[in-house]
Structure 1
Amino acid sequence: MSLPENGLDRRAFLQRAGTAAAAGAALPLLGSTLPAYAAPADPDQLFWQGRFADAEWGYRCLLRDDPDNAHAHARIGYIALLANRFRTAETHLSEAISLAPGDIASTQRLAESFVRRDQLARAVPLMRRTGRPRDTAFGEVYSQLKGRPWQISGARSTRVPFHTLDPVPSVEARLNGGRPEKFYLDTYGTLDLSPEAAEKAGLRTLASWEGGVVDGQPVVIHLGILASFRIGDIEIRNIPVQWNNVQRPPLPDGSQAAGAFGTTVFYHFLTTMDYAGQALLLRRTPARPPRNELARLPLWLAGDHFPCTVGSLGRHKPKMVTVDTGGIASGLDTTVAIAEQYGLTVDYAHPRERNGIKVYPVTADRISLGNAVRRNIRGNAVEKLGPGIPGPGQSAQFGFDLIANFTHEFFKPYAVTFDYVGMKLSITQR
C-alpha cells in the first residue's frame, strides 16, 4: 500500500489501513509460498514456523468446509492482529469468542485490537472478562480515563538527540510540564516511570497488580493517567502510565533515569531509533524509504509491545526473532541449544545467573537482519527458558517459534525505523 503525502494524521491512517486490509481479505495473501488452490495439511505447524500468510490460507480453507471452526477463526484473527489488520482481527476474534466463549486468549486479543487504536472504552468489558490481574487493572484505569486518550499535538516531526548511547539510548522528555528528565528508550518498554518521577508528576494509583518477582521480591506495578508527556516538539496528553520500584541501571553519571518508554509510544508514530546519528525521530506522517536502506523486513507486533521480524544466525535462512533494544552490553539473546544448533560459540567457563537460570556468554560470527550484517557479536545464551527471557523464551507465550532476540549492540551502526502502518522494519546505514 502506498503511503499518502498529504499530511494525513498517523493514527487516522493506521485505522484506515486496517479497514483497507479487511476489504482485501479475500485476495491472495502476500508472502504466501503456496499456490492459490493448495490447502495446507497443517496450518498450525505453518503458524508455529512463522509462515503466517500460508497459515492464514490454510485456516481459511478449513472455514470453507467448516464455517463454525472456532480455532480457525481465532488463528486468522490473531494473525491479523499481529499485522495490525484490525477489521479482520475484530471480525474473526469476535466470531471465535461467539463460538467458544471460554477462549480467553481471543478475548484478550480482541481487547488489544481496540487498545492499539486508542479505543480504550471498547476494550474495558473484554478485559474484565479474562480473569487476568493485568487486564483487570488496565481495564479499571481505562474505565476512569476521561476524554480522548493519546491526544497528540505539536510539530509534525521531532528529532531528539540521545543523551546517552550506553547502557542503552536515552533522551530527555517532560512529565506534566515539568523540567526535562532522562528516559531510556526500549522497544520492549511501554511508558514506565520510576516511583520518584510518578510522585513528582502528581500521579495517583488507580489500579495495581503483582507483575512478577525480581531478586526474590514481588514487583507491584501501579497504574495511573498522565496528563502530559512531551518529547521534543511533540506533546502527548491523557496517557495510561505505569510505575514500579524495580531499580534500573544508572545513567553514566550515576543518576537515575525517570523511566523508560518504547513500543506503546512508538507505534503512534513513524519511529526511528537512529543509533548512528544518536537521535530519536518521531514523525506523525508517512515518509518515503531512505536511499541508503539496507533492509526492509516484515514487522509484527505480539502482545502489546513486542516487535517481531525475521533474522538469521550465521548463514542459515531467516526465522522469527524479536527486537528488544534494551539489552545492555549485548547484541543477541538465545538459548544454549539454539546457539549450538547454529554454530555460535558458547563460553561455558564463565556462567552467570539470571533469576536462578544459568546464562552463558555467546559469540556469533555472523548475524543479520536482511542485508544489515554484524560479525563477532557478543550476547547471552540461557541454559533453559524462564520468565523474562526475550526471544526464544516467548515462543510459548506467542505461539510461534522464535530463535533469538536482536538487541542493543547489533543496532549501533544503523538507524532502525518501525512502521506500524506499513508493518515494516527498515534498517539504514550512514
Structure 2
Amino acid sequence: MPVDGGWNRRSLLRGAAVVAGAAATAPLLGKAATAHAGPGDADDADALFRAGEFERAGRAYEEILKKDPKNVHAARRRGYVGLLSNRFPEAEKYLTMALGLAPGDKEASQFLADCYTRQDKFSLAVPHWQAAGEDVYAKWFAAFRGEPYQVHGDTGRVPWRQMDPFPLLEGSINGGPPKNFMFYTRVAWLGVSARTAKEAGLSAVASQKIEYAGRTIWMYFGVLGSFKLGGIELRNIPVQWSDDADAPTHDGIIGTWILYHFLTTVDYAGRSLILRRRTPETARKARADAARAGVKPLPLWLAREHLLHSQGSIADSGTKVVALDIGGTGEQVAGMSVETAAQLRVRTDYERPLEAYAGGQPVISYPCYPKEVRLGDAAAKNVYCYADKGGGTGGFASADAQGNAALAGAAEAGGPGDFGFDVLGHFSHSFYKPYNVTLDFTGMNLYIAHGKAT
C-alpha cells in the first residue's frame, strides 16, 4: 500500500539538531492551490488537502467513502484531517477504518499512534508505533507506569533570562537547582544535556544511534519524575538526552509536547512564558479576552506530533499554510524556498550565501527581503529573511553554532512541506518579538497580539 507524504521518522532521528535557519518549503503557487473539488473526486480532494483547504478536503473524502467504503486512502486522509485539528474521535474513527481495510498500512498506524500519544494514552499508542516500525517510540512509551504528564499547579509565569540568540528561562529537574532551558516548537519532547541527565539520575529505556555532521551520537530516552516551570510542575514525562561531547551553553530544551499540555502564551514582548491549565474554560477565556482586544483567532494545526502550522502570507502570496517556529534561534524573520522567493519576486541576495548544516548535511541559504510577512494582523515589512536552496524536501539551515543534535531531540531533517500539504514558509524567532502569541490546543486557535500579555 503506497503512503502519502512520508513521515520518515528514522530520517528525523538520524538528523536531529537544534536549528534555526530557513525551512525549505515546497513551491505552492501552482494549480494545487486553485483546485475545486467535486463530490467524490479523489484527485481534487487531494488537491484541496495539498492546498491547505483541510475542511473542504475532509468533506470531499467523506463523499468518496460514501461511494467507495473500502477506499483506504480516503479513510486515512479523512482521519488525518481530524488529527491536524486535534479532533480525536473523528481521527480515531477514520484511521481505525483505514487500518481495518489495510492492517499493514504503516502511515495509518503512525497517525493513530500520534492520535493516542497526544491524548496521553501511551498504552494504546504503543502497538501502533510498533506496527509503524517505530521501535524507539514503542519502547519509550511502553516504559511508562501510571498517568503521564501529571500537571500540578494552575498557572506558571516564567521570565526569560535572555532574548537572543534564543529565549532562555529557568526550570528544575527532579527537584534540583534551577537549570537554563531554551524552547523551540521544532522540537518535540523535553531534551536535557548529558550532564543534566547524569545529575538527575536518569536511566534509558530506549536508545538510538544517529549520524550527525560526520560523528556518531547515541540518543537516550527515559522517563522523568518531575519538571518545574514557575508555579507549574509536570510529573512522569518523556525526556531525551545523549552522549554528545559538544557541550551546549544551556542545560536543556523545551519542546512542543510540554507546551501542548497547557494553554500557552509565548510573551515575546513581555519576555516570559505563561502556562495555564489546558481546559475548555481557559480556552473560552482566551477567546473572549482576544475578542475584547480585537484579536481574531487564526487556525492552529499540529502535524507530525509537534509541528505547528497556521495561515499567513509572504509578499503577494495570498493566505497560505505557514509553519510556526516559535522559540529557537535566528535573526531572520521568516524562511522560504528559493523557488517560492523567485515566484513571489522577493529580492534575494545570491552573492552572500549562508553555508550551514541541516540534519548533519550542508545546506545553503540566501538573505532575502520580502515586502511583507504577515500572520493575521501581525506583520513585518521589508525584513531580513532566508531563501533556502533545497526545493521542497530540504531541511533547516543552522545560523547558530549551538546546533547540538543530542540536546535538540527532534528538529526535523525533512522540511515542513512533506506532510501531504504545501507550506509557504516558516515564521521564526525574530518575527514574534513585538507580540505575544497564545496557543490554544483545546480549540486549536492561535492568537497573536501586539505588546505584552496581560
Give how far 1:35 is off: 11
Give how far 1:393 is off: 5.3
Q: Which amino acid counterpart does residue 368 of structure 1 have in structure 2? A: R
Once the two structures are overlaid, the 10-residue window that deviates more, 219-228 or 74-83, is 219-228
What is the correspondence of 1:213-362 to structure 2 with a 5 Å cutoff? 213-245=211-243, 256-284=249-277, 285=279, 286=282, 287-288=285-286, 289-290=289-290, 291-325=292-326, 326-354=328-356, 355-362=361-368
Give how far 1:278 is off: 0.5
Match of 1:426 in 2: 447
Going from structure 1 to structure 2, the CA distance change for 1:314 and 1:294 (only over 3 Å counts) comes to: farther
Q: What SS is found at the alignment partner of 1:365? A: coil
* Whole-angstrom CA distance in 2 between matches of 1:418 and 1:220: 33
What is the correspondence of 1:17-166 to structure 2 with a 5 Å cutoff? 42-131=44-133, 135-154=134-153, 156-166=154-164
Contact 1:392–1:404 (8 Å) recurs in 2: no
* Whole-angstrom CA distance in 2 between matches of 1:117 and 1:401: 26
Give how far 1:264 is off: 0.4
Q: How many pairs were matched up?
A: 388
Contact 1:334–1:392 (8 Å) recurs in 2: no
Contact 1:296–1:425 (8 Å) recurs in 2: yes
Q: What SS is found at the alignment partner of 2:372? A: strand
Contact 1:226–1:240 (8 Å) recurs in 2: yes
Going from structure 1 to structure 2, the CA distance change for 1:392 and 1:370 (only over 3 Å counts) comes to: farther
Q: Which amino acid counterpart does residue 113 of structure 1 have in structure 2? A: C
Q: What SS is found at the alignment partner of 1:230? A: strand
Supply the RMSD in Å over aligned alpha carbons: 2.3
Q: Which of structures 1 and 2 has the larger relative contact order (alpha carbons within 8 angstroms, sep 6+)? A: 2
Match of 1:369 in 2: 375
**Deviation digits for residues 19-64 of structure 1, max 9, x if unmatched?**
xxxxxxxxxxxxxx99999555610111000100111111011111
* Whole-angstrom CA distance in 2 between matches of 1:367 and 1:178: 42
Contact 1:226–1:239 (8 Å) recurs in 2: yes
Q: Which amino acid counterpart does residue 83 of structure 1 have in structure 2? A: S
* Whole-angstrom CA distance in 2 between matches of 1:392 and 1:340: 24
Give how far 1:394 is off: 2.9
Give how far 1:310 is off: 0.9
Match of 1:25 in 2: none
* Whole-angstrom CA distance in 1 between matches of 2:255 and 2:161: 16
Instruction: Among all aligned residue pairs of Structure 1 and Structure 2, give the percentage whose two residues are the same amino acid.
Output: 38
Q: What SS is found at the alignment partner of 1:394? A: coil
Going from structure 1 to structure 2, the CA distance change for 1:392 and 1:332 (only over 3 Å counts) comes to: farther
Q: What SS is found at the alignment partner of 2:418? A: helix
What is the correspondence of 1:194-205 to structure 2 with a 5 Å cutoff? 194-205=193-204
Paired residue for 1:397, among 391, 403, 418?
418
Return 5+ residue gaps in structure 1 as ranges.
1-32, 251-255
Going from structure 1 to structure 2, the CA distance change for 1:312 and 1:37 (only over 3 Å counts) comes to: closer
* Whole-angstrom CA distance in 1 between matches of 2:35 and 2:50: 16
Match of 1:22 in 2: none
Once the two structures are overlaid, the 10-residue window that deviates more, 61-70 or 325-334, is 325-334
Q: What SS is found at the alignment partner of 1:343? A: coil
Q: Which amino acid counterpart does residue 271 of structure 1 have in structure 2? A: T
Give how far 1:352 is off: 2.2
Match of 1:184 in 2: 182
Once the two structures are overlaid, the 10-residue window that deviates more, 73-82 or 372-381, is 372-381
* Whole-angstrom CA distance in 1 between matches of 2:77 and 2:246: 37
Q: What SS is found at the alignment partner of 1:113? A: helix
Return 5+ residue gaps in structure 2 as ranges.
1-33, 397-410
Contact 2:395–2:413 (8 Å) recurs in 1: no
* Whole-angstrom CA distance in 2 between matches of 1:241 and 1:106: 26
Q: Which amino acid counterpart does residue 171 of structure 1 have in structure 2? A: L
Contact 2:265–2:436 (8 Å) recurs in 1: yes
Q: Which amino acid counterpart does residue 127 of structure 2 have in structure 1? A: P
Give how far 1:294 is off: 4.1
Q: What SS is found at the alignment partner of 2:381? A: strand
Q: Which amino acid counterpart does residue 242 of structure 2 have in structure 1? A: N
Q: What SS is found at the alignment partner of 1:421? A: coil
Going from structure 1 to structure 2, the CA distance change for 1:81 and 1:169 (only over 3 Å counts) comes to: same
Give how far 1:293 is off: 4.8
Q: What SS is found at the alignment partner of 2:390? A: coil
* Whole-angstrom CA distance in 2 between matches of 1:217 and 1:405: 29
